Amino acid sequence: MLVTGDNSLQLFLGWEGVGLASYLLIHFWFTRLQADKAAIKAMPVNRVGDFGLAPGISGCFTLFQTVDFSTIFACASAPRNSWISCNMRLNAITLICILLLIGAVGKSAQIGSHTWSPDAMEGPTPVSASIHAATMVTAGVFMIARCSPLFEYPPTALIVITFAGATTSFLAATTGILQNDLKRVIAYSTCSQLGYMIFACGISNYSVSVFHLMNHAFFKALLFLSAGSVIHAMSDEQDMRKMGGLASSFPFTYAMMLMGSLSLIGFPFLTGFYSKDVILELAYTKYTISGNFAFWLGSVSVLFTSYYSFRLLFLTFIVPTNSFGRDILR
């Protein structure tokens, strides 16, 4: 309903629905207190995002008297309400787009509302794979892409989006290089890649952003699932420092994870290359401050991405065995 709705109310319905699904699935093992705390953190942080989205939708309703997407997009250029506050002239449509952006920030775990994403790794790995790689976290990006005719009008909002996305990709990547938990590295990597998608939207290339979204869904789900296989094989041990030398024990998983990581860092001719490289090229060729900022931060994030991806691979698979014998199941 999130993606097929043709008005923003159905979008909101689907939005909350995926938030609910993530809440219920994160505490799948509900006797585990960490999981419950994480689930409770997830729901209100999503709600903080909705604190932006709901007034954004109400604002749309005020301006356009309708919530239907086709109508809104058709007459998006019409309203010119503006008021002056804090020595800045705020158009109504700028405010609406910033509010919608806050919604996306909450849902897609951008910096500012990213705190739920690492804790959401308490859920089972298939949950992480589907919800936190492919479907829910992309809801924010999808919403921005869907409302792209609306976002084209306020240049201020686009600059804000670009800054937010670029900052997220950089900060999440720097956090990811120091994580010790296997799934948390992948979670921060998701935040970082979402930052890429958001700033690709911010430089007005929505189709590229959606392209990266699709690619990311696939290789991130691959990473999560193979991480799940490793974790399960290590009898629920998630700390990477305690793993090692698994390349000979789990060759298939190793191969999958290698492919996923290579795709994530944009290795030539894998899917990540096509989408990430295009984003960086477009950022470079957009001669605005925000475009250049995004380019530099994005490139540095690529460096960090490859660092943490290979760190993950090394610590898990290649380094001589660090784990205790009793941790390895057969």
Residue 33 interacting with another protein (CB under 8 A): yes
Pick between residue 83 and residue 314 the one whose CB is nearest to another protein: 83
Torsion of CA 217, 219, 213, 13, to 10 degrees: 10
**What residues between 188 and 207 interact with another protein by CB under 8 A?**
none
Residue 82 interacting with another protein (CB under 8 A): no
**What residues between 83 and 142 interact with another protein by CB under 8 A?**
83
Query: Minimum distance from CB of 92 to another protein (Å)?
Result: 9
Residue 14: what residue type?
A: G
Do the beta carbons of residue 137 and residue 108 sit within 8 Å?
yes
Identify which of 58, 294, 310 has the alpha carbon closest to the alpha carbon of residue 198.
294
Q: Which 3 state secondary structure label does DSSP give 43?
A: helix
Pick between residue 123 and residue 195 the one whose CB is nearest to another protein: 123
Span near another protein by CB under 8 A; candidates 51-59, 139-147, 191-199, 211-219: 51-59
Residue 58 interacting with another protein (CB under 8 A): yes
Residue 47 interacting with another protein (CB under 8 A): yes
Residue 184 interacting with another protein (CB under 8 A): no
User: Angle of helix 137-146 relative to helix 182-202, nearest 10 degrees?
Assistant: 10
Identify which of 180, 257, 172, 266 has the alpha carbon closest to the alpha carbon of residue 216.
266
By CB under 8 A, how many residues form the interface with another protein? 32
Identify which of 259, 169, 167 has the alpha carbon closest to the alpha carbon of residue 221.
259
> 58 vs 16, 112, 126, CA distance in Å?
16, 23, 35
Query: Minimum distance from CB of 3 to another protein (Å)?
Result: 15
Footprint of another protein (CB under 8 A): 9, 12-13, 15-17, 20, 23-24, 27, 30-31, 33, 35-37, 39-40, 43-44, 47-48, 50-51, 54-55, 58-59, 61-62, 65, 83
